[in-house]
Copies of this chain bind each other. A is one copy, B any other.
Amino acid sequence: MKRTELIENIRSKGSFLCVGLDPDIKKLPAHLLKEENPIFAFNKAIIDATAPYTVAYKPNLAFYESEGIEGMKALDMTVKYIKENYPDQFVIADAKRGDIGNTAAMYARSLFETLGADAVTVAPYMGADSVTPFTAYDDKWTVLLALTSNKGYEDFELMEDKHGHRLFERVLFRSQRWGSPVNMMYVVGATRGELIADVRKIAQRNFLLVPGVGAQGGSLEEVVRYGLLPDECGLLVNSSRGIIYASSGEDFAQAAGEAAKKLAGEMDTLLRENGFK
């Protein structure tokens, strides 16, 4: 999906919501366990209920891989289902891959071509040649980890060089050459508040994929205040647990739809208030 198309979808829906499809088999509503593929049945119902309010879905591969072959089948079926039924939805394979060149090329092929995702999350530690096999796809998106939403982000991401530049800033700065705003996004946690403004100093036009609203405690208002691009939005805010586990009963899909509608409503208000047109 092209950048202009993504922006247009955000504009027409008044939403920059991405729903994280992280189906933990232990948390699925009991009545789904009799389905042939309970994970896919869960995802399908969540997608149907939330699609009017979202512009993107982000399956996290760990949740599928941990279920072995059946889990991988569910992942394939989920991506195909979205592409066939909701072709305006952007699909991010949250895989956080990072490996040497020939292996990175394999992962890129696997996730962009075999799976058919629009975007893949990639880890920066190994440097340029672990990232550029992904950015070589100019019709697909590389979503590079920059400033993550988890507690451990302080260990390395905030490391400062002698000029006071932090590792996440070096990642943003160097990677500007590896891709462009039409095929490179960054993961920036909603829990990082003002640091998002520092991200924007370097990644001035890139979309930011923002996890951490909801269960992790990030503020949607702060994300918009520090990260919004007035003309292009430049934000995809992800919520996983707060939506997909809004209810654990038979009404799980309806509850997920309501949770997505509520969050999208807040987004619409914030977009209007902040001059996104």
CB atoms of B152 and A114 under 8 A apart:
no
Taking a contact as CB atoms under 8 Å apart, the answer to whether B68 and A125 are in contact is no
Q: How many Å lie between the Cα of A170 and that of B154 in the bound state?
A: 12
Q: Which of B72, B107, B127, B145 contacts A151 (CB 8 A)?
A: B127
A153 at the interface (CB under 8 A from B): yes
When distances are taken between beta carbons in the complex, the residues of chain B under 8 Å from A73 are: 69
A155 on the B face (CB < 8 A): yes
CB of B107 within 8 A of CB of A128, answer no
Number of copies: 2
Whether A76 is near chain B, meaning CB under 8 Å from some CB there, is: yes
- Do B68 and A114 touch (CB < 8 A)? yes
Q: How far, in Å, is A113 (CB) from chain B's closest CB?
A: 8
- Are A69 and B72 in touch, CB under 8 angstroms? yes
Q: Which of A30-38, A41-49, A96-104, A265-273 contacts B (4 or more CB under 8 A)?
A: A96-104
Decide: B106 and A66 in contact? CB cutoff 8 A: yes
Cβ–Cβ contact B152 & A130, under 8 A: yes
A167 interfacial contact with B, CB 8 Å: yes
Chain B residues near A160: list those with CB within 8 A: 161-162
A174 within 8 A of B: yes
Stretch among A10-18, A57-65, A82-90, A251-259 lining the B interface: A57-65
Instruction: Please tell me if the beta carbons of A66 and B156 are within 8 angstroms of each other in the complex.
Output: no
Task: Give chain B nearest CB distance to A127 CB in angstroms.
Answer: 3
Which residues between 165 and 198 of chain A lie within 8 Å of chain B, taking CB atoms?
167, 170-171, 174
* Bound Cα distance A131, B148 (Å): 14
Q: Contact: B126 with A154, CB < 8 Å? A: no
Q: Which of B96, B109, B129, B151 contacts A98 (CB 8 A)?
A: B96
Pick from B123, B150, B162: contact of A100, CB below 8 A.
B150
Are A152 and B123 in contact (CB-based, < 8 A)? no
Interface residue from B126, B145, B171 paired with A126 (Cβ < 8 Å): B145
- Interface residue A135 (Cβ < 8 Å from any Cβ of B): no
The answer to whether A101 and B150 have CB atoms under 8 Å apart is: yes
Instruction: Say whether A128 contacts B103, CB under 8 Å.
Output: no
Q: Are B161 and A159 in contact (CB under 8 A)?
A: yes
Contacts of A129 in B (CB 8 A): 150-152
B66 A148 Cβ-Cβ under 8 A: no
For A108-151 the 0/1 string (1 means CB < 8 A from B) is 01100010000000011111111100000000000001001111
Question: Is A222 part of the binding interface, using a Cβ–Cβ cutoff of 8 Å?
Answer: no
- What are the 3 tightest A-B residue pairs by CB atom distance, in nearest-first order? A127-B152, A127-B155, A62-B106
Task: Sample 11 A-B pairs with CB under 8 A, ordered by A number.
Answer: A22-B103, A63-B106, A66-B106, A72-B72, A98-B125, A100-B148, A125-B157, A127-B155, A127-B157, A128-B152, A159-B167
